[in-house]
């Protein structure tokens, strides 16, 4: 680990839980506490608690905030009402993805934006540059002020309710997927969103650093009712992969467009001009040469990032993300392949350390998410 790796407000808590710590996105983060497989199963069947304070939090405020975000993001911000969020992306003019993110509308002139850890400064500087050409909007980076906790799994509501007053519990019961609400925890203002990265019913709590440990311990005290356990980045990765949720740096980057990455459902070309729109329109008209596919291995072997994929002896693309699939059994992943040469249902070969292993392209997602249940 490097001396420059940042630590979240819960670093000492993780050490006390016996976490294995690793560098990730410039931060020192828990990769596991017990085993990845056990932690994965806990989230699918009970409740898991993740420290995701490495994620970035930006605020966009001002009378032109909506117009600004509409201009710089691919989704349609005008569809949001107060307390609603949407998955989206910000692009380079050539259509490559600067980042994927979630934009929450707090009120008409106030948006809360959650961005990827390794991209926080890049996103912030780019948004500042874009904002400098528009009056009536201010972008601030509050990432160092927030602790973010993800509570995920079928018993996650029970865990979160333990922190709330009766009135706030009633409000939580009406919180739908991709919505966010203000909350007071231990007398301090925070936010609760009905979002997550595991494919399970869950929440993401944004709390000031001062109450990070109290919030963590308050959630963990529900163990006898919820089976809650701390979960590391290892299981976070296998959980999101089964649900076919993308990871920036693996499944998309500055050179991959949202159409290629498989998130065209979040791109609103019809909304009017936005940064990167012209490139996407041209790419769509020409037809994609790369597209995101899910696959499952037919033979022993784990697909890993960068491994080449072949069909009938021809190179058709590369693996973006791959791992064991604990819920489903076997191994699988996501690959960026040429859609003119392959289709769902095809058998392909993955070059696993010099040996070509058979795999089948299958419909996405690998695991049907239960986030709306």
Tell me if 228 sits within 8 A of 218, measured CB to CB. no
Sequence-separated (6 or more) residues with CB below 8 Å from residue 312:
none
Q: What is the pLDDT of residues 347-359, one digit of tens each?
A: 999 999 999 999 9
Do residues 43 and 89 make contact, with C-beta atoms less than 8 angstroms apart?
no
Give the Cα separation of 110 and 197 in Å (integer): 24
DSSP character string of 189-215: EEEEES--SSSSSEEEEEEEGGGHHHH
Predicted local confidence at residue 3, as pLDDT: 58
**Ranges in the chain annotated CATH 3.30.1360.120:** 1-286
Report d(CA 95, CA 74) in Å as an integer: 10
Q: Strands of 20-24's sheet, edge to edge?
A: 6-7, 27-32, 20-24
Tell me, what DSSP letter sits at residue 300?
A: S
Residue 17, burial from CB neighbour count under 10 angstroms (0-12, 13-18, 19+): middle
Angle between helices 36-45 and 233-242 (to 10 degrees): 60
DSSP state of 285: H
- Give the SS3 label for residue 8: coil
Give residue 2's pLDDT: 53
Q: Which CATH architecture has domain 289-362?
A: Beta Barrel (2.40)
Intervals of CATH 2.40.30.110 along the chain: 289-362
Whether CATH 3.30.1360.120 fits 1-286 = yes
List the chain residues with pLDDT less than 70: 1-4
Tell which phi-psi region holds residue 16, choosing left (phi > 0), alpha (psi between -120 and 50) or beta: alpha
What whole-number distance in Å separates Cα of residue 340 and Cα of residue 222? 51
In terms of C-beta distances under 8 Å and separation of at least 24 residues, what long-range contacts does 129-133 make, across chains too? 130/68, 130/71, 130/72, 130/275, 131/68
**Three-state SS at 255:** coil
Q: What is the pTM of this model?
A: 0.96
DSSP conformation class of 179 = B
Cα–Cα distance between 55 and 112 in angstroms, integer?
A: 13
């Amino acid at each position: 680990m490097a001396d420059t790796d940042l630590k979240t407000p819960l670093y000492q808590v993780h050490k006390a839980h016996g976490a294995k710590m690793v560098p990730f996105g410039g931060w020192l983060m828990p990769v596991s506490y017990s085993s990845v497989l056990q932690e994965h199963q806990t989230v699918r069947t009970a409740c898991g608690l993740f420290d995701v304070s490495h994620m970035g939090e930006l605020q966009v405020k001002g009378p032109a905030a909506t117009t600004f975000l509409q201009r710089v993001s691919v989704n349609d911000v005008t569809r949001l009402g107060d307390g609603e969020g949407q998955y989206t992306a910000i692009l380079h003019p050539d259509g490559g993805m600067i980042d994927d993110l979630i934009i929450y509308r707090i009120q008409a002139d106030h948006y809360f934006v959650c961005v990827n850890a390794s991209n926080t400064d890049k996103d912030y500087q780019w948004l500042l540059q874009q904002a400098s050409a528009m009056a009536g909007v201010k972008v601030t980076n509050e990432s160092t002020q927030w602790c973010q906790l993800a509570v995920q799994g079928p018993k996650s509501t029970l865990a979160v309710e333990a922190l709330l007053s009766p009135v706030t519990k009633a409000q939580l019961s009406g919180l739908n997927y991709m919505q966010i609400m203000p909350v007071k925890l231990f007398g301090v203002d925070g936010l609760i969103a009905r979002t997550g990265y595991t494919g399970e019913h869950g929440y993401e709590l944004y709390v000031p650093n001062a109450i990070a440990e109290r919030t963590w311990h308050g959630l963990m005290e529900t163990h006898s009712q919820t089976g809650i356990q701390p979960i590391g980045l290892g299981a976070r990765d296998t959980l999101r992969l089964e649900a076919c949720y993308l990871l920036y740096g693996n499944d998309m980057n500055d050179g991959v467009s949202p159409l290629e990455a498989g998130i065209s459902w979040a791109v609103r070309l019809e909304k009017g001009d936005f940064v990167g729109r012209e490139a996407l329109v041209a790419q769509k008209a020409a037809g994609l040469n790369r597209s995101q596919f899910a696959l499952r291995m037919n033979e022993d072997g784990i697909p890993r990032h960068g491994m080449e994929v072949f069909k009938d002896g021809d190179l058709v693309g590369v693996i973006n993300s791959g791992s064991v699939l604990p819920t489903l059994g076997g191994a699988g992943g996501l690959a960026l392949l040429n859609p003119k040469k392959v289709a769902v249902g095809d058998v392909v070969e993955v070059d696993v350390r010099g040996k070509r292993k058979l795999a089948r392209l299958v419909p996405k997602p690998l695991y049907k998410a239960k986030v709306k249940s």
